[in-house]
Structures are given as C-alpha cells and as structure tokens.
Structure 1
C-alpha cells in the first residue's frame, strides 16, 4: 500500500456561519492542496469535510496518517466514540442524536478503504503544514 501523509484543517467565521476547509496531501515528492467552503456551516463540519475530501482524493487504498488539530475528530477515533454511536443507533451517551451524523458516516465509509491513523497536532503553532491548511481554509471561507 502507498503511504500518504495528510494535514487537514477547518475554519469558520462565527459558529455557525461561513466556513472553509483545507487539506495538504503528501506522497513521495508529490504534494496536493485542496480547499473549499460553505456559506452556512460549523467549524466541526469543516474539520470533518477536510478529512473526507482528502480521503476522497486518493485513487486507491492507502495507508494514511491524518494530522489534525481537531480534538473532535482525533478523539472520536482514539476513544472509539463512533463504535458507541453506531451501536446506540447514532445517539450519544446523553441520548441525543449525534451531530454531523451524515459526515461521520461518509468518513467511516471512506475509512473502510484505507488504513487510517489520526495524529493530533497543536493548532496555530509551528507545524508548517497545519499552518498552511489553516491559511487555505481561511482563504476558502465565502465572503
């Protein structure tokens, strides 16, 4: 399997409000930057969209390391929240519907194609590619 490194980020002006997402994909000497936006969204939706769009860009099953500053995403997989959500009919432990269920389901489907590891990075620090994703995501926010 090819090994791909992905950095992702989401941004939102107000929350909810207009938002943007971005991803940088690295494979060998190749680098691809992706970004997009939505007129009415949330920061968490943009974070999820960034990972989804990055995985959708892969043309074949890959071993992937996703670097994200989103505790929402990283903790979901490290702490297996998604397993409990699916088992409980997409309800939280507080008996409320899981927010962003549509995006979580898209992401879980994509993860069946790839071996994905999530790596937490500190946002707005000295991680060059995380900062690049932040820049791209903010630039993609619709005006």
Structure 2
C-alpha cells in the first residue's frame, strides 16, 4: 500500500512541451494554432486553432494556458512547460512585476499587448506550480518539434477554413 502511494505521488509532476504557430503573423489574414505535447501517442496532445486575435505571441500564451488547464484536470500538482518562446517566458517571469508596478504599461508608456491572455495565464499560475523552461527552437529536440508540428497543423487548418 505504501509503495502505491509513493508511486502515485511521483506522477504529480509533468513535463510538457508547448508551442504556438501563426501563418502570416502580423497580417490581416493571419491564422494561428497551439500545440501541447505530452508524449508520443498521448491522448492529451493538443492541436487547436487559436480563437480571437491571431498572433504568434497569443498562440504561445494560450498553449501554456491549455497545458496548465490539462495538468490541473489530471490532478498534477506541478508542471514544467518547455517552450522556445522567449516572449512567453519573459512575460511570466521577468516583465510581469514591472508591468503591475507601472499600471500595466510597458516602458514606452503604452498598454501591454495581450493583457487579457497574460491575466488569464497569471491567474492559472496561482493554481499549480509551474516552471517555465526556455529551450532552443528548431534544434532537433523531439518534444519541441512535436509541439511545433501540432501548433503548425492547427494554424494550417485555421488558414484553410478561412479561404
């Protein structure tokens, strides 16, 4: 019985790869998708077109949000999110405190882009222990490549549906 409890507690942490992709980022016809990769043939792997404003940064933020929601749903207490997005990592670990102090304005005095997505992510971070791990994109990391493929597939689906 004790062995089962110990093994169960070990499953409370997950390492998940996340990515966002956007076709024609910054253009009027941009279409984005998110990828969440838990592992080979894992039913939790996600490839979802992004709703709302279509940008690569929003896709990255929402990939993290989806992964956190999934981790909570599956009773994980902590999660490591591996991402190639410097924007995502900096938004949640470096810039957030300064933005709060500045009334949610950037150093240039303008409002923070993607504020509602960042708010949602910050609130989700209060519900589970999350470690962001910045990895190099397109470096041959199988997990990152898989997350990128899922995100790209979702962006392609969204783009084709709009044509």
- The two structures have a TM-score, normalised by structure 2, of 0.79
Cα distance per residue 1:17-68 (max 9 Å; x no partner): 1011111136xxx662012113750000001110011111122352111100
CA shift at 1:76, angstroms?
Answer: 2.5
Structure number with the higher strand fraction is 1
User: Is 2:86 the partner of 1:71?
Assistant: yes
Poorly superposed stretches of 4+, deviation over 6 Å: none
> Over the residues paired in the alignment, what is the CA RMSD in angstroms?
1.7
Structure-2 separation of matches of 1:36 and 1:82: 26
The answer to whether the 8 A contact 2:92-2:122 is kept is no
Number of aligned residues: 139
Q: Contact (CA 8 Å) 1:52, 1:110: kept in 2 or not?
A: yes
Per residue, is there more helix in 1 or in 2?
Answer: 2
User: Which residue of the partner structure matches residue 126 of structure 2?
Assistant: 112
Which residue of structure 1 aligns with residue 3 of structure 2? none
C-alpha contact 1:61 1:113 (8 A) present in aligned 2: no
Larger radius of gyration: 2
Conservation of the 8 A alpha-carbon contact between 2:33 and 2:151: yes
